[in-house]
Amino acid sequence: MPTFSYKGIDSAGATVNGVIEAADRKQALRKIRAGKVRPLEVKLGKGKPGRAAKAKPVKADAEEAESFTVSSSDKKSRRLFARNKPSRKQALPFFRKLYQLHKSGMPIGDAMQIMSARMGDPALKDLSGAVYRDLSEGRTLASSMRSMPEYFDPTMSFLIEAGEATGNVQPILENIIDHLERKAALQKEVQGAMAYPIMICLVALGVVALFLFYLLPRIQSMLDTMGGELNMAAKIMIGVADFALLQGPFIAVGLFIIALSIVQWRKTDKGRLTTDAWALKLPILSGLYYNADICRVSNILYVLLSNGVNTTESLRLAENTLQNKVLVAKYVAARTMINDGAPFSAAFRRYGLLPDLDQDILSIGENTGSLAPSFNEIYNTHAEELSKRLSILTKLIAGLALGFAFLLVFVLTLAIVMSILNMTQSIMAR
């Protein structure tokens, strides 16, 4: 009978290796799970049952054996992504359908099987099929999501991991769906606010280009014939256009090199820390970076603590959601202090991670035994502040764009009117 070498995690959380006899791979998986071991990797190999054996996949089963390793699963995911042009926008309909099925009492595995067979969207159907294959091979939903970053934000996988650990995934799915819906609504609002000024700028640039390259040469030719001169507005437009055509490419290349250098520098620890510190000092943008990170960490702490995850594990998982390295350093120091027995409010106050009002909310929550709702209140506060600052930034950009468009139109109108007056004066002078 064939033997299969495997690697898995037992009920105590320890990693185990072994060899088992089975007629085929499915039977091997059943036997491994019957021994209260969650398989991570299974390969067809040679060896005696009960002893570790070096895997030796045969040619006919090579592709199937690879499907049990994380790296080969990633390869399958990349092939899947290449066909369907993945996008994180597909995460929302995916979680909505999964939530509907799971809320009705269906286990996650069975829900994924139905979704992989009945989803109408081909991309979502293939995504569901890829996740279902990972689940059937013994992987968790969280680990499967982490292998597909093109579809899922890492924060989602940490939330799902906590839900699977407590056996209560439904409220986690509700939170993820609510977060994605808020994010989609905010993006739609920003896109709608920016569409009009962008269109106006494009029209203004088109009109200016028509004047510079079509009307102006004819006006200049007529003025030369009549002995007239171009007015100051027309000369300014010609000068700006010449500068853009002659010096613009060099400026663009210079800016590209600077941007590329900053991106490469950010890949180093010192560069990332320095640029993240700059980001927290920039007008308007600093509020966006700060509030976005606080929203992420407070939301995940609310979800984890309210679903029974212990404080140490909640703090560990929440750390992975922070993006700014300056805030990460403060959070790690505060987390260490909390694990040593200090209250949340005292730790966050010492390292300046939260504003005074948020620290007061945490202090009240700890005194009244409602710490998780306190984090939810902090999340709602910073989400509202983030939306407000994003609205201010959008209006500022829109105002600048409209101002630029109106300035172009004004100079263009002045140039045309003055050119016509010059032509009229030249004709009357004759």
State the average pLDDT for the chain. Answer: 78
Bigger pLDDT: 377 or 182?
Answer: 377
Residue 392 forms part of a structural domain: yes
Asked whether residue 160 is assigned to any structural domain, the reply reads no
203/343 same-domain check: yes
pLDDT of 69 over the 80 cut: no
Burial class of residue 127 in the structure, from the number of CB atoms within 10 Å of its CB (0-12 exposed, 13-18 middle, 19+ buried) = buried
Q: Which CATH number belongs to the domain containing residue 404 in this structure? A: 1.20.81.30
Residues 50 and 106 placed together within one structural domain of the fold:
no
pLDDT tier at 56, thresholds 50, 70, 90: very low
41 and 101 part of one domain:
no
Same domain for 58 and 96?
no
Q: How far is the C-alpha of 118 from the C-alpha of 194, rounded, in Å?
A: 38
In a domain, 78, yes or no: yes
pLDDT at 11: 62
- End position of a domain, from candidates 48, 68, 88: 68
Whether 423 has a pLDDT exceeding 70, the answer reads no
Q: Mean pLDDT over residues 13-32, rounded?
A: 76
* pLDDT digit string, tens, across residues 386-411: 888 888 888 888 888 888 888 877 87
Mean pLDDT on 127-149: 87
Inside any domain, residue 165: no
pLDDT of residue 330: 92
Residue 214 DSSP symbol: I
Residues 310-330: pLDDT tens digits?
A: 888 888 888 888 888 999 999
Residues 180 and 134 in one domain: no
Q: Which of 33, 52, 68 corresponds to the end of one domain? A: 68
Asked if residue 108 belongs to a domain, the reply is: yes
User: Is residue 349 located within the same domain as residue 407?
Assistant: yes
- Sign for the pseudo-dihedral over CA of 390, 391, 392, 396: positive
Which residue has better confidence, 356 or 205? Answer: 356
Most confident of 120-124, 234-238, 343-347: 343-347
Return the bridge partners of 45, or none.
Answer: 3, 55
pLDDT at 67: 38
Neighbours of 147 (CB within 10 A): 20
Q: Write down the pLDDT at residue 427.
A: 67
Number of domains within the chain: 3
326 vs 324: CA distance, rounded Å: 6
Name which residue leads in pLDDT, 214 or 370.
370
* Cβ-contact 98, 111 below 8 angstroms: yes
Same structural domain for residues 146 and 179? Answer: no
Q: Are residues 269 and 396 in the same domain?
A: yes
Residue-level pLDDT at 258: 93
Residue 158 lies in a domain: no
Instruction: Answer yes or no: is pLDDT of 333 > 60.
Output: yes
- 306 band by pLDDT with thresholds 50, 70 and 90: confident
Same-domain status, 57 and 91: no
Domain with 280, as residue range(s), is 170-430
Share of the chain above pLDDT 90, in %: 8
The per-residue pLDDT for 371 is 87
Q: Answer with the residue of higher pLDDT: 50 or 305.
A: 305
Shared domain for 249 and 295, answered yes or no, is: yes
* pLDDT computed for residue 254 by the predictor: 92
pLDDT at 111: 87
Highest averaged pLDDT of the listed ranges 78-82, 228-232, 239-243, 336-340: 336-340
User: Can you state the angle between helices 285-306 and 311-319, rounded to 10 degrees?
Assistant: 150
Asked whether residue 22 falls in the same domain as residue 105, the answer is: no
Higher pLDDT, 47 or 194: 194
CB within 8 Å of 428: residues ≥ 6 apart: none
Q: Where does a domain end: 40, 68, 96? A: 68
Examine the domain organization and report whether 59 and 80 are in the same domain: no
